[in-house]
Amino acid sequence: MCPEHKVEHTGKNAGAIVMACELLRLDPERDREFLIELAVGQARRLCTNLVCEDNSVCHTFRPGRHDPFNCSNSVIDGGACSDALAHIVLALGSDLGAEDRERFRAASLLHARSYLRYAVLDKGIPAQRAWGLTGLAGAWALENDDLLSTAAIEAVGVLEGIQHSDGSYPYHPREWGGQHPGSADVSAFYQSRVTGFVLFALERMGRDPRAALFAGPLVRGLDFLAALQAPDGVKCGLVEAKPWYWGAEYEVASHPFDVYALAAGFRCFGREVHARAAVRAFRAWSAHLTAEGRPQSHRAAGGRRQSYQCPVFWAGHAMWMARALEDLERAAQVPDEPARKSGAIDLRTTWFPDAQLGRIEDGAVIAWVRGARPGVNVHHGSPTGAGLVRVWSKERGADVLDKGHLRGVPEGEWSADVGSFAPRRGWRANRDELRFAFWLARVAWRRGRFMEALTTPFDVARRSLIGYASKCASSGFDLEASVEVAVDGVTVRSALAHRDGSRVNGAALERSYTVDGEGLSVDERIESTPACRGLHYHTPEGALDAVIRPSAATYRLA
């Protein structure tokens, strides 16, 4: 039972089966009896939780969607459970009693045949379909049923079809039922799941991911994932369709999926950039473990809060890291990329047009720049864009731009007061979010966070109704920026906008970000100024050679 959500997270507990089996395979004499007992006991529990839905032939693993405090649904739990039951049968074989082996096998197949083969083709979120695909592929490995393989390959094709041409995935596409435009944004948290799960499912079904039919989408997905990552192993967390999930501007809870996708991808496609990214992701995740092994999504700091998910979720997801251990060891043998000397003319600009994300790099820095993005409210869509979203200094080994979106207008942005307080604007953007705020309060109360539960509705109201009604406008709130890409950087043309993305009439900005071997040069100009008050540029604390004027700003970050 999860000590925080007070519910049995069946789909996450399934991860213990895979972790135990993988540890047994890699080190068969270490804790053998304990690990077998753990895996078998948990598999028996999964079978007990497999029930027939009312008025249906579908068999699903409870609680799934039936207990909202499970914070999951039937396709996620079912994919994980069917996969884990297939895994224990395939991995332990004769170490299982005949009765257990047949029971586990039958449960995996029954769920796949009665539910997963349909769910992988009709769920609205790509990552959920892909998770169901892992269980479908696992069941097929137990019995080569054409019904299962046909549904699985069709699901792979559909997932490839919804992938953007630049390798990114929408979190919840509008054409698949996404209710808010921001939910169709890309997600640093979810990116690796679709790619990693598809890769796993293909191999589980005996298909070669390197085949021309599959290789292109997989490599593009891995390339976009690697581009999100800085040398510290942490991805650019402000590129996120689902920001309400997280209590900070970054997370490492997705790293087990990152490690699997990147390490297995390196084995399949041999690209060293993926190997290095896999190792960095593993190290960042490991560094966030507490002394007793409890995973964390982020470290505590001023302005941060606890995330919605729990350590049971994050520990269960580590099964994907366990599956990648051998690939990860091979990846760790790849030598580090040669350090590029400061001043060397070795510049890289990579632009991902569908995600509207640019990565600019030289020997001194890496900078991520966002262009246009879908609509936003307090819970959906990336919270900032139309400019810099992260800058990493290679010499300092640290971020040199504080976006601090939880604490107000971030560094590297223009802000001004325009118009007056507009309650209708806040209501239009967030009227549906207040009901969800009471759900978040219920979850916090159940977790024993009583003060958080009492304050959550007021906090959401403050950040949504009041925050979006504010007269404050910022360059980072613009949703419709245009971008020109050059070899040495990008130029963003945008406007001041209110938090909901509504533009300020008459405001036009040109923002240039270039690298020259010595770092990032920033050149910001307001080309036309509307009737606004208190126009101000929030200069980064680490800015060098800064020249700030009423309508222009230049400086360097290195």
Q: Does residue 306 lie within any of the structural domains? A: no
Average pLDDT over residues 457-464: 95
Average pLDDT over residues 225-253: 96
Residue linked to tokens 């705020």: 437
CB 235 within 8 A of CB 278: no
Determine how many CB atoms are found less than 10 A away from the CB of residue 147. 12
Q: How many percent of the chain have pLDDT more than 70?
A: 98
User: Among positive and negative, which fits the CA dihedral 73, 76, 82, 85?
Assistant: negative
Average pLDDT over residues 457-473: 95
Return the SS3 of 295: coil
What is the tens place of the pLDDT at every residue in 390-430? 999 999 999 999 987 544 568 999 999 999 999 999 999 99
Of 111, 143, 175, the domain-final residue: 143
68: pLDDT strictly greater than 50? yes
Measure the CA–CA gap between 323 and 377, rounded to whole angstroms: 37
DSSP string, 332-378: HTSPPPPPPPTT----EEEEETTTTEEEEE-SSEEEEEE-------S
Of 276, 307, 334, the domain-final residue: 334
Task: Specify the pLDDT at position 249.
Answer: 92
Residues 441, 407 within the same domain: no
Q: Does residue 307 lie within any of the structural domains? A: no
Residues 66, 203 within the same domain: no
Task: Specify the pLDDT at position 409.
Answer: 62
Task: Compute the radius of gyration of the chain from its Cα atoms.
Answer: 24
Measure the CA–CA gap between 316 and 81, rounded to whole angstroms: 11
Residues 479, 393 within the same domain: yes
Measure the CA–CA gap between 368 and 360, rounded to whole angstroms: 6
Residues 401, 510 within the same domain: yes
Residues 208, 224 within the same domain: yes
Task: Specify the pLDDT at position 342.
Answer: 57
Q: What angle do CA 179, 183, 185 make, to 5 degrees?
A: 140
**Number of residues that make up the chain:** 558
Residues 180, 326 within the same domain: yes
Q: Does residue 304 lie within any of the structural domains? A: no
340: pLDDT strictly greater than 70? no
**Among 115-119, 199-203, 305-309, 454-458, which stretch is predicted with the lowest mean pLDDT?**
305-309
- Average pLDDT of the residues of the chain: 95
Residue linked to tokens 């036009």: 508
Return the SS3 of 469: helix
**Among 36-40, 65-69, 156-160, 300-304, which stretch is predicted with the lowest mean pLDDT?**
300-304
Measure the CA–CA gap between 383 and 463, rounded to whole angstroms: 12
Q: Does residue 99 lie within any of the structural domains? A: yes
Q: Does residue 139 lie within any of the structural domains? A: yes
Measure the CA–CA gap between 35 and 278, rounded to whole angstroms: 26
Task: Supply φ then ψ for residue 91, to 5 degrees.
Answer: -85, -40
Task: Specify the pLDDT at position 292.
Answer: 94
Q: Does residue 310 lie within any of the structural domains? A: no
Residues 22, 82 within the same domain: yes
**Among 78-87, 332-341, 372-381, 405-414, which stretch is predicted with the lowest mean pLDDT?**
405-414
What is the tens place of the pLDDT at every residue in 101-118? 999 999 999 999 999 999
Q: Does residue 447 lie within any of the structural domains? A: yes
- Overall domain count for the chain: 4
Measure the CA–CA gap between 187 and 542, rounded to whole angstroms: 28
Residues 244, 255 within the same domain: yes
Task: Specify the pLDDT at position 407.
Answer: 47
Residues 329, 282 within the same domain: yes
Determine how many CB atoms are found less than 10 A away from the CB of residue 491. 16
Residues 243, 327 within the same domain: yes
- Domain with 213 in it: what CATH number? 1.50.10.10
Determine whether 537 is exposed, middle or buried from the number of CB atoms within 10 Å of its CB (0-12, 13-18, 19+): buried
Residues 24, 98 within the same domain: yes
Q: Does residue 341 lie within any of the structural domains? A: no
Measure the CA–CA gap between 488 and 158, rounded to whole angstroms: 36
CB 69 within 8 A of CB 441: no
Task: Supply φ then ψ for residue 451, to 5 degrees.
Answer: -65, -40
Task: Supply φ then ψ for residue 543, to 5 degrees.
Answer: -65, 140
Which structure tokens are listed for 27?
């080190």
Among 164, 167, 283, 162, which Cα is nearest to 234's?
Answer: 283
What is the tens place of the pLDDT at every residue in 17-27? 999 999 999 99
Q: How are strands ordered across the β-sheet holding 482-486?
A: 482-486, 489-494, 508-515, 520-528, 552-557, 544-549
Residues 274, 293 within the same domain: yes
Average pLDDT over residues 335-340: 80
Task: Specify the pLDDT at position 301.
Answer: 87
- Give me the domain span that covers residue 380: 348-419+473-557
What is the tens place of the pLDDT at every residue in 161-217? 999 999 999 999 999 999 999 999 999 999 999 999 999 999 999 999 999 999 999
Task: Supply φ then ψ for residue 92, to 5 degrees.
Answer: -95, -30
What is the tens place of the pLDDT at every residue in 270-285? 999 999 999 999 999 9
